[in-house]
Amino acid sequence: MTESQLREPGRLAYLGLLAASAAGTLSSNIMNAPLHIIKEDFGATESQAVLAVSAFTIAMVIFVPFMGWLCDRFGPVRIVILGLSIMVLAQLAAGLAANLETIVALRGVQGMACAVMPPGVQRGLAVLWPSKGAAAMAAWASAIAVGQALGPPVGGLITEAWGWRSVFFVQSAVCLVIVCLVALTVPRVSGREAPIHGVGMAILMLTMGACVLAVTLIGQRADPVTEAIVAIIASVGLGIYLFLATRHPERLLEPRSLWEKRFIRGTANAGTAMFIMGVCLVALPLYLGDLQLSAGPVGLIMFTMALSMVLSGQSVGRLTKRYSPRIVVEVGLLLLILAPLGLGMWTAAEHASLSVLVTVLVILLVVIGAGINAGQSVAAFGISRSSAARNSMAFGIHNTIRFMGLATGYAWAALIVPLGLPLLLYGGAAAVALVALVIVIIGGPVEPREADA
């Protein structure tokens, strides 16, 4: 079936694809709430425990560009079904893991499988429901936010009831239900000839993998020689890719097309938001676990940040229309400077009342969630209106850098948490937001385009 011959499927198929995106996001953070318990069960350090979380994101960074090409070549629905099927098996195996190293490896497999969701679901929605247009993309973004919101509390409550291994078993069952729903209700979309420079794509994947591995190794305190080797691989790989992309722009993304204010700002904003999210997602559960809070309350506390991301979406949209995307993103970045600084000062202080401690944490997480939503929403808006967006690979590179921001946040937390310096931990997050704000301010207004009208 070609794209032009497709009729719009029913509501069940629409919800099935959206559920696939939510399940992918849920898989990425559902183990964060019981992270402290997993660490203690395996006698691991904080850095090793964080690696079990970041392995998922590392794999996504590496495979997102390639999965985008697979969706073009073989059809997005088929690749989404394949990714969900792998998720079922990898989650089930993680629940049976005998050591932390096995969990880390299986989390990498889960991340590779989840890398099909952004390009697969986005293209599937656009092709199968063309009349929905921007509404379909808004629904896709909401599905991601729902997964982010449900992950910590669901993981915490399941751990409270049946233990942390059941988190993986339940998620495996959820993915199984969704893969059946997608397979039975969503029509297949035929693939198309998608020219690709095989060597260039392999070099790009190697380069992205080496970049995210380099920052992860810093967080894991690897030996300097290993870090230097990985950094050299990343640098050489980037140089080779830029050379090949310049020579073969029809099969690889022309690098100069990314040198545009909209693309640079949008990518910087999204990467910053994901970095701060990554710091909070792993550092706060470990901090709350040290206060002897169980996984259930920890998950509910973390839920407030993701819930704020969901609920602030409409407000961000209204403010963007009333004022301008630039003003909204500047305010969002300002929130991401001030709230992490407050988080650092608050967690560094001694507190006699646990209820007061938690109340202020929740308030700060709500502010951070609103700032993250503003950064990501405006980033998506800007990227969609950039000249680079004419090439779908630009979206892949944008998403790759987003996930690299998340992985870098994990690495920063792994590096600083064991030092017991919360002001440095969250102050570093605020500094990244400050850099992004400077990028937005000094660049001046973007050039208007006909599409903006």
376-405 residue pLDDT tens? 766 666 665 666 655 556 666 777 787 788
Q: Give the model confidence (pLDDT) of 19-44 as tens digits.
A: 998 888 888 888 877 888 888 888 88
Q: Would you mind telling me the total number of residues written for the chain in this entry?
A: 453
Which 8-state DSSP code applies to residue 52? H
Q: Assign 126 a pLDDT band (cuts: 50, 70, 90).
A: confident
Q: According to the model, what pLDDT value does residue 450 have? A: 41
Q: Assign 137 a pLDDT band (cuts: 50, 70, 90).
A: low
What average pLDDT does the segment 186-213 reach?
79
Q: Give the model confidence (pLDDT) of 153-165 as tens digits.
A: 888 889 888 988 9
Could you tell me what percent of the chain has a pLDDT over 70?
87
Q: How many angstroms separate the Cα of 336 from the Cα of each of 168, 275, 374, 414?
A: 32, 11, 10, 20
3-state secondary structure of 391: coil
What average pLDDT does the segment 93-98 reach?
92
Q: According to the model, what pLDDT value does residue 222 have? A: 74
Backbone φ and ψ of 194, nearest 5°: -125, 100
Q: According to the model, what pLDDT value does residue 452 have? A: 42
What average pLDDT does the segment 328-334 reach?
87
Q: What kind of fold does domain 260-445 have according to CATH?
A: Growth Hormone; Chain: A; (1.20.1250)
127-160 core/surface letters (b: 16 or more CB in 10 A; e: else): bbbeeeeeebebbbbbbbbbbbbbbbbbbbbbbb
pTM: 0.75
Burial class (CB in 10 A: 0-12, 13-18, 19+), 361: buried
Q: Give the model confidence (pLDDT) of 36-90 as tens digits.
A: 888 888 888 877 787 888 788 888 888 887 887 788 788 888 999 999 999 999 9
What average pLDDT does the segment 283-302 reach?
84
What is the spatial distance between Cα 400 and Cα 396, in angstroms, rounded to a whole number?
Answer: 6
What is the spatial distance between Cα 36 and Cα 43, in angstroms, rounded to a whole number?
Answer: 10
Average pLDDT of the chain to the nearest whole number: 82
Q: According to the model, what pLDDT value does residue 445 have? A: 52
CATH 1.20.1250.20 boundaries in the chain: 10-58+73-190, 260-445
Q: Does domain 10-58+73-190 have CATH number 3.60.15.10?
A: no
